[in-house]
Structure 1
Amino acid sequence: MVLILLPPSEGKQPAGHGAPFDADSLQFPELNASRQQLLTVLSAVSGADDALEVLGVGKSLVAAVTRNIDLHTEPAAAAHTVYTGVLFEALGYDRLDEAARKRADSSILVISALWGAVGFADRIPAYRLSMSVKLPEIGKLASWWKPRLTPVLNARAGDGLVVDCRSSTYAAAWAPPAENTVSVAVFQLRSGKLKVVSHFAKHTRGELASHLLTRGADVKSPEELLAAAHERWKAELIPGTARKAHQLNIILPEDHAFKAVGN
């Protein structure tokens, strides 16, 4: 089955109630020692006077940072409910049928600054930590995670197709095998010229993930991914190299409007 890589959202929805997370129930239990190390460091950082500065957030996020202090006791919920924002709203897990939800749970991985990688059904608490942060004793998180994630996620990816919808910040934490990986970029025609879509690229990537989950037939190659994208969008495939992944460019028309999710 295709592996779909997503970045986490900056904003997260805390679980209203429920049991705390259980590390042994998360995917990739071999990462648990690293996760525990980060939880300990993050707790100490979040309780310090300079927490906001170290974590790179503003005063409006004091409550989210305070929650970091004892994530072992915070209520946990499935990752697909904790992560919010443009991409996850466009993917619309709640709008998927049961079969598509099962595919999402088995094929989507969210690359996380705290957890390394989690599945959509993994139960986690809301937390505040970006992959761009540099933590005491840890250093730059992307660099710290890369040697830990690479053997684990390479084994998970195998020789299957990887559809990479991550931002560059999170892509730095693991580079999947280039020959089997397709990164997703979004462009829009403006005055007859192709322009890169920035923020709302997340929306289109979420729609692509939803399309792959709901269309039924799995995609097993970059060419099949291009054909699947053509079912909804104009698109092109830029072939990769031995070291660089293929790139799927979704091209939106000049009159494209990003509509509210569900419309």
Structure 2
Amino acid sequence: MLILLPPSEGKQPASNGSPFNPDELQFPELNPHRHELLDALAEVSGAEDALAVLGVGKSLVSEVTRNIELHTEPAAAAHTVYTGVLFEALGYERLDAAARARADSSILVISALWGAVGFADRIPAYRLSMSVKLPGIGKLASWWKPKLAPVLQERAGDSLVVDCRSSTYAAAWVPPAANTVSVSVFQLRGGVRKVVSHFAKHTRGELASHLLTRGTAVTTPEELLAAARERWEAELVPGTARKAHQLNIILPEDHAFRAVGN
């Protein structure tokens, strides 16, 4: 099983420690592309129009400034750098040792800067979205797509791919439809299903945690549906030759967040 996650836009910088080592990241064949982006990002982040190019506000000046020296910034495991609703709901720090090992081996975060990183890969905090168009590079999702395809296709093989990415990051790599399930989340409102965003991130994080902790691995879309139904109302929309299967999780009208850790 391979679980694909989007990164959080906000990152938690490491307070100390050594810089990242590109040779220790998963997919070292992507390192030439990573170095190209690191250089391009550093140049953009030092320019007068950095905030406009990167699509961020003045409150994030310090994060943009950090982009200039990422080679020397302290690094930490990706699961501590990425924060936000999805990652809080997944709760890596609350997993037992066996579930953490499964997370390290099965989760890939699709990243605008790194292409793809594993949960245990050491990276610095950075500010760059897949929707950004960098000078000399272009739109990052399009730039990464041909570079990620052969690498991630080999990694996925015939495994079930559980795709929890947002559309922005899903555009950077399209896994094989036959063994891929995208995860959508709806909530009932007045008896009608409505697409949700905040709850969707939280629920995808909970689904990832559930898959890591339940003990029995899922290997098919049907087994994924059965696993989801252990926690939620869910349905599976079969895929086609070109379109992945879709797991729909339907939250009740009175759904509310559970406190983290409960």
Matched with 2:141 is 142
**Deviation above 3 Å: which 4+ runs of structure 1?**
none
Superposition pairs for residues 104-119 of structure 1, below 5 Å? 104-119=103-118
Distance in structure 1 (CA, Å) of the matches to 2:60 and 2:158: 41
Q: CA deviation at 1:104?
A: 0.1
Q: CA deviation at 1:259?
A: 2.6
Q: Percent identity?
A: 84
Structure 2 counterpart SS, 1:176: coil
Matched with 1:56 is 55
Amino acid paired to 2:28: P
Amino acid paired to 2:153: N
Summarize deviations over 1:20-51 as a string: whole Å, max 9, x none.
00000000000000000000000000000000
Superposition pairs for residues 125-204 of structure 1, below 5 Å? 125-204=124-203
Summarize deviations over 1:84-118 as a string: whole Å, max 9, x none.
00000000000000000000000000000000000
- Does 1:82 pair with 2:81? yes
Q: CA deviation at 1:199?
A: 1.9
- Which stretches in structure 1 are left out of the alignment for 5+ residues? none
Distance in structure 2 (CA, Å) of the matches to 1:47 and 1:82: 23
Superposition pairs for residues 28-39 of structure 1, below 5 Å? 28-39=27-38
Amino acid paired to 1:175: V
TM-score between both structures, scaled by the size of structure 2: 0.99
Distance in structure 1 (CA, Å) of the matches to 2:250 and 2:201: 14
Q: CA deviation at 1:197?
A: 1.3
Structure 2 counterpart SS, 1:247: strand
Number of residue pairs the alignment of both structures matches: 262
Summarize deviations over 1:58-100 as a string: whole Å, max 9, x none.
0000000000001000000000000000000000000000000
Structure 2 counterpart SS, 1:188: strand
Distance in structure 1 (CA, Å) of the matches to 2:99 and 2:258: 23
Matched with 2:71 is 72
Distance in structure 1 (CA, Å) of the matches to 2:140 and 2:193: 34
- Does 1:41 pair with 2:40? yes
Amino acid paired to 1:16: S
Q: CA deviation at 1:149?
A: 0.1
Matched with 2:102 is 103
Structure 2 counterpart SS, 1:200: helix
Summarize deviations over 1:120-178 as a string: whole Å, max 9, x none.
00000000000000001100000000000000000000011000000000000000000
Q: CA deviation at 1:260?
A: 2.7
What CA RMSD, in Å, does the superposition of the two structures yield over aligned residues? 0.5
Distance in structure 2 (CA, Å) of the matches to 1:155 and 1:243: 19
Q: CA deviation at 1:254?
A: 1.3
Matched with 1:253 is 252
TM-score between both structures, scaled by the size of structure 1: 0.99
Q: CA deviation at 1:223?
A: 0.2
Distance in structure 1 (CA, Å) of the matches to 2:239 and 2:176: 11
Distance in structure 2 (CA, Å) of the matches to 1:72 and 1:90: 30
Distance in structure 2 (CA, Å) of the matches to 1:141 and 1:254: 37
Deviates more, 1:253-262 or 1:139-148: 253-262
- Which stretches in structure 2 are left out of the alignment for 5+ residues? none
Amino acid paired to 1:201: A
Q: CA deviation at 1:255?
A: 1.2
Matched with 1:244 is 243
Matched with 2:221 is 222
